[in-house]
Amino acid sequence: MRLSPDEIIFWQHGFLKLNATILFTWGLMLVLAVASKLITHRLSIGLKRSRWQNLLEIIVTAIEKQIEEVGLSQPRKYLGFLGTLFLFVGAASLCTVIPGYESPTGSLSTTAALALCVFVAVPLFGIWERGMGGYLTSYMKPTFIMLPFNIISELSRTLALAVRLFGNMMSGAMIIGILLTITPFLFPIVMTLLGLLTGMVQAYIFFILATVYIAAGTRVRKSTAEPKVNIEA
Amino acid sequence: MLIDWFTILAQAINFMLLVWLMKRFLYKPILHAIDEREKRITKELADADTKRSEAEKERERFQKKNEDFDRHRDELLSKVNNEAKSERQRLLDEARQAADVLRTKRQDALKREQQSLNDEITRRTRREVFAIARKTLTDLSGTSLEEVISEVFIRRVRELNNETREDLATALKTSSEPVLVRSAFELPSEQRSAIQRALNEEFSIEIQVRFESTPEVISGIELTSNGRKVSWSIADYLTSLEESIDELLKEQSRPEVQSEAKAALKPESGTKSTALEEHK
C-alpha cells in the first residue's frame, strides 16, 4: 500500500531524486503558468472580454475579496502568495479526475513544504508590516509568560496545517483505492466527486488559515480582541 | 518515511517559483486589466457627467436665448404694429387734410367763379340798363340821362325825411371841409348849379360843394359830408337784380336743399327790398 506519491521514484542520484510528487508539481506549474500566459496574452481592458479572461478575473477578484474579508486591508500585497496557495492546492485536487494522476498534495512532503512556507511567510509579512521589534513583541502579549506558548502555538499550527491537508488528500486517495477493490464501478465515481469537493474545501481551508495567520501576524494589536477563527476539517 | 526532506525543499522551491510565475502571468496582468477597465469606466462616467452638465448648460442657454428672441420679436412686432397704426393714422389724417384742402379750394374756386360770374352779370346788366335807360330817356324826352339823374338826386335831397335831413344838416354845419359830390360822369355846369342851389335852399346855408367824377358811382350821384351820405345810383336797382340772380343760381346749384335755401333767402331779400324802397 502506497501512502504518498513520494514513493514513486523515477530517478535518483544520492540526495537528489525525481519522484512523482515533484514531477506532478512541475506538470501543474506548467499547466497553470501556460494557461495563465495564454489567457492573459491578450487581455482586454474594454467592456468586452473573452470567457477565459472573465473566469480568471472572477477567480482573482474572489480571492482578493476573501483576503480582504479576513482582515487584510491591502489584499494585493498578499495576493501573490495566498492566491497561489489556493490555486495550487485547488488545481492539485481538481486534477484527481485525471486517471493515473497522483495529487502532489497527497504527499506529506508537499503539504509540509507549503506549511513551512506559511510558517516563514507569517513572520516575514509581520516584520514587513510592523517592523522587527513590533513583530517580536507580539510573542510576549499579553504577558512575557505567554512567550513559550505563543512559540508552541506557532509550531503546532504549522504542523496541523501540513498534516490536515495531507491527511485529507491522502485519505481521499486511500478511500478510492480501497473502494475500487470492493465495488469497482459505481462507488469510486461518487467518491471521486466527493474527493473533488473535499479537495476544494481543503484548498479553501488551507488558504483561509494561511490568511488568518498572516492577518494575525501583521495586525497591530491595539486591543486584546483577536480574530478568532476556528476552522477544523 | 512519509517525509522526504529533499522533496520538501524541492516543493518549497517549486512553490516559490509558482508564486513568481503566477504573479508574473496571472495576477499582474489580470489586476492591471481590471484596474484599467475601472479607470476607463470611471473616466467614461465622469466624461458622461461632464457632457451631461454641459448639455444641460447648453440647453439652458438655448432656452434663455429662445425666450429672449421671442420677447424681442414680440416687442418688435408690437412696436411695428404701433408704428404701422400711427403711420396709418397719420396718412389718413394727411389724406383727409389734403381732401379738405382740395375741397376748400374747390369750394373757393367755385365761389370765386360764381362771384365773378355774378359780377360780370351785374356789370353787364348795369351797362345794359344804363344804356337802355339812357336811350329810352333820350328817345322819350330828349333830355340826357345825366340831366335826369341830377333831377332825381335833387328831388331826393328835397324829399329827405326829417331825421335824415337833421343829421345831414348837423354834418354839413360842423364840417369844415366842403361837401363832396361824386358822380360817374362829369356834371355839366347847369346841373352843378342846380345841385348847389337845391342844397342851399334845403339847408338854408351857404354850402361849399366840391364836384368829383369817379366811375365807381355807376350812373349816379353821391353826396358825402362828415360820414353822412345821400346818394342815388343805378347800382341800387342793380343790387336788387343781382340778388334775384344770386337766388336763382343757388337754387340751380343746390336743388336738394332748395326749400331750405329759399327759406333762408326770403327774409334776406325782404329786408333788402325794404331798404331799397326806402332809398327810392
Q: Which domain holds residue B192?
A: 117-279
Q: Flag whether pLDDT at A229 surpasses 60.
A: no
B242 forms beta bridges with none
The string of pLDDT tens digits covering residues B217-272 is 666 777 777 777 777 776 677 677 767 877 876 776 665 444 444 444 444 444 33
* Nearest CB neighbour to A60, from listed B17, B21, B27: B27
Q: Computed over its alpha carbons, how large is the radius of gyration of chain A?
A: 20
**Contact residues on chain B for A107, CB-CB shorter than 8 A:** 7, 11
Question: What pLDDT does B280 receive?
Answer: 38
Range in A4-13, B19-28, B144-153 with the lowest mean pLDDT: B144-153
In chain B, what percentage of residues exceed pLDDT 70? 81
Do the chains contact at B11 and A83, CB–CB below 8 Å? no
**pLDDT tens for each residue of B162-206:** 888 888 878 777 777 788 888 877 778 888 888 888 888 877 777
Reported as half-sphere exposure (CB side, CA atoms, 13 A), residue B75 has a value of: 6
**CB-nearest partner of A109 from B3, B17, B31:** B3
pLDDT at B120: 85
Q: Say whether A113 and B18 touch across the interface (CB within 8 A).
A: no
Partner-chain contact B14 A15, CB within 8 Å: no
Task: Judge contact between A106 and A170, C-beta under 8 A.
Answer: yes
Which amino acid does the sequence have at A29?
M
Quote the number of domains for chain A. 1
In a domain, A139, yes or no: yes
Strand order in the sheet with B220-225: B209-213, B179-183, B220-225, B228-233
Mutate to test the interface with A, among B1, B4, B16, B32 (most CBs of A within 10 A): B4
d(CA A207, CA B187): 166
Any A CB within 8 A of B31 CB? yes
Question: Which chain B residue has its CA at the smallest distance from A111's CA?
Answer: B8
How many structural domains are present in chain B?
Answer: 1
Question: At B262, which amino acid appears?
Answer: K
- Kindly state whether residue A9 falls inside one of the protein's structural domains: yes
A228 within a domain of the structure (yes/no): no
* From B10, B18, B41, residue closest to A84, measured CB to CB: B18
- Residue A61's Cβ-side half-sphere holds a number of Cα atoms within 13 Å equal to 12
Residue B210 pairs with which residues in a beta bridge? B180
Q: What is the pLDDT of residues B141-150, one digit of tens each?
A: 656 777 777 8
**Identity of the amino acid at B188:** P
Question: Cβ contacts (< 8 Å) between B22 and chain A: which residues?
Answer: 32-33, 36, 80, 83-84, 87
Closest approach of A113 to chain B, Cα-based (Å): 5
Residue B109 lies in a domain: no
Closest-CA residue of B relative to A52 is B30
Contacts of B34 in chain A (CB under 8 A): 57, 60-61
Quick check: is A231 in a domain?
no
**pLDDT interval class at A231 (50, 70, 90):** low
Kindly state the cell numbers that stand for B27: 495576477
Q: What secondary structure, in 3-state letters, does chain B show?
A: CCCCHHHHHHHHHHHHHHHHHHHHHHHHHHHHHHHHHHHHHHHHHHHHHHHHHHHHHHHHHHHHHHHHHHHHHHHHHHHHHHHHHHHHHHHHHHHHHHHHHHHHHHHHHHHHHHHHHHHHHHHHHHHHHHHHHHHHHHHHHCCCHHHHHHHHHHHHHHCCCHHHHHHHHHHHHHCCCCEEEEECCCCCHHHHHHHHHHHHHHHCCCCCEEEEECCCCCCEEEEEECCEEEEEEHHHHHHHHHHHHHHHHHHHHCCCCHHHHHHHHHHHHHHHHHHHHHHC
Residue pairs spanning A and B at CB distance below 8 A: 123
Nearest-Cα distance to chain B for A19, in Å, is 8
Q: What is the extent of the structural domain holding A34?
A: 5-218
Would A90 be classed as within a structural domain?
Answer: yes
Residue from B1, B16, B18 whose CB has the most chain A CBs within 10 Å, to mutate: B18
Would you say residue B136 lies in a domain? Answer: yes
Predicted confidence at residue B21, as pLDDT, reads 94
- What's chain A's average pLDDT? 85
Nearest to A76 among B10, B22, B31 (CB): B31
Q: What is the ipTM of this complex?
A: 0.88
Alpha carbon B248 to chain centroid distance?
A: 31
User: Is residue A92 a part of any domain in this protein?
Assistant: yes
CA distance B255 to B249: 10
Q: Is A232 within a domain?
A: no
Whether residue B219 is contained in a domain is answered as: yes
Cα–Cα distance between B180 and B195 in angstroms, integer?
12
A46/B6 CB distance under 8 A: no
